[in-house]
Amino acid sequence: MKTIKGPALFLAQFAGDEAPFNTWDGITKWAADCGYKGVQVPSWDGRFIDLTKAAASKDYCDEFVGQAAANGVAVTELSTHLQGQLVAVNPAFDTAFDGFADPSVQGNPAARQAWAVEQVKNALSASKHMGLTEMASFSGALAWPYVYPWPQRPAGLVEAAFDELAARWRPILDHAEDCGVDVCYEIHPGEDLHDGVTFEMFLERLDGHARCNMLYDPSHYVLQCLDYLDNIDIYKDRIKMFHVKDAEFNPTGRQGVYGGYQSWVDRAGRFRSLGDGQVDFGAIFAKMAANDFDGWAVVEWECCLKHPEDGAREGAQFVKDHIIRVTERAFDDFAGGDIDHAANRKMLGL
């Protein structure tokens, strides 16, 4: 068994225009002060990283990682959630997602997609330069508008969407293989990869590509009423990243999974700061330890009630308290002895 690394913090929700959240030096010092040992980096945020330069220059990456280390934290992974989203966008979402792209390609879906592919590849190259072995991303979505359709979906619509999704991602995953980096898709509503079945549909079309893996986040499963503990055992060989995020689901006679178009605070399903929701993290960390997961436990703070800085500081201690330092020996070894084949046969009457 292996011991999970952590705690680490995903910086996306904390980036801002005021110190210490507006520079790489400032935010890494702040994260360390909160009790974190690592940080996951939103690769789209130019306040922290120049992704083009990072893809081209190992010296730049060494300086980037070195500054974080000098401030007390490791770089755990790069994230390409926003760029990955743009690899596959249904036209229904063109306007909504256009702001994720560079202004030079906004309003041009084909150019925007080509830009997104290059961005994700750049992040993989940068990850290699930094000595990282995983990268977080979203799959994007072509079929999502038809997830619960009326009228019924035309025959072959979903199959065509997943064929295209796999075709768009295969060259990226081949580049990931060249870089020695796993692409870990956050399984998430709004993405075509939103549960285990859809991940399997994607993986099948990729012929089981070794670099196609999962980012496990139980909060998104709670809100789908999916068994998040069973999921760990089913996909233990593909789960290569872990977001520690809490949630609660309290359906009423008025609303359930879909939330009735309400704000986050008024939905039946809500994200909460660690320890304030319903996720059984004791069971999750136990399964992760038993399954030899040795990646980082990364806090992703999203809460409809609590201030983010409070959630961050509480989250660091929460993860520390849940990481299991795995044992190197069985608890009953004291009563054992060396193998005696003759005695064993005698005990079996042989």
Domain assignments of the chain as residue spans, ordered by start? 5-347
Q: Could you tell me the pLDDT band of residue 343, with boundaries at 50, 70 and 90?
A: confident
Residue 331 has pLDDT above 80, yes or no: no
Pick the more confident residue, 63 or 331.
63
Tens digit of pLDDT for each residue in 4-27?
999 999 999 999 999 999 999 999
Q: Evaluate whether 162 touches 201 at the Cβ level (below 8 Å).
A: yes
CB of 266 closer than 8 Å to CB of 317: no
Q: Is the pLDDT of residue 336 over 80?
A: no
Please give the model's pTM, rounded to 2 decimal places: 0.95
Is 60 exceeded by the pLDDT of residue 219?
yes
Confidence of residue 249 (pLDDT cuts 50, 70, 90): very high
Does 151 sit behind a cis peptide bond, omega within 30 degrees of 0 on the bond before it? yes
In whole angstroms, what is the distance from residue 76 CA to residue 95 CA? 32
Distance from C-alpha of 106 to C-alpha of 129, rounded to nearest angstrom: 29
pLDDT tops 90 at residue 337: no
Mean pLDDT over residues 123-143, rounded? 98
| Whether pLDDT at 335 is above 60 | no
Q: What DSSP line would sit under 95-135, residue for residue?
A: HHHHTTS-GGGTT-HHHHHHHHHHHHHHHHHHHHHHT--EE
pLDDT of res. 290: 95
pLDDT of 338: 77
- Give the mean model confidence (pLDDT) for residues 218-223: 98
In angstroms, the CA 9 to CA 30 distance is: 11
Q: Degrees (nearest 5) of the Cα angle 61, 64, 65?
A: 90
The average confidence (pLDDT) of the chain is: 96
pLDDT digit string, tens, across residues 22-80: 999 999 999 999 999 999 999 999 999 999 999 999 999 999 999 999 999 999 999 99
For position 330, what pLDDT does the model report? 64
Per-residue pLDDT averaged across 182-190, rounded?
98
162: region left, alpha or beta (phi > 0 left; psi from -120 to 50 alpha): alpha
Q: Sign of the CA dihedral 171, 234, 249, 318? A: negative
CA dist 339 and 334 (Å) reads 14
Q: Which CATH number fits domain 5-347: 3.40.50.720, 3.40.50.2300, 3.20.20.70, 3.20.20.150?
A: 3.20.20.150
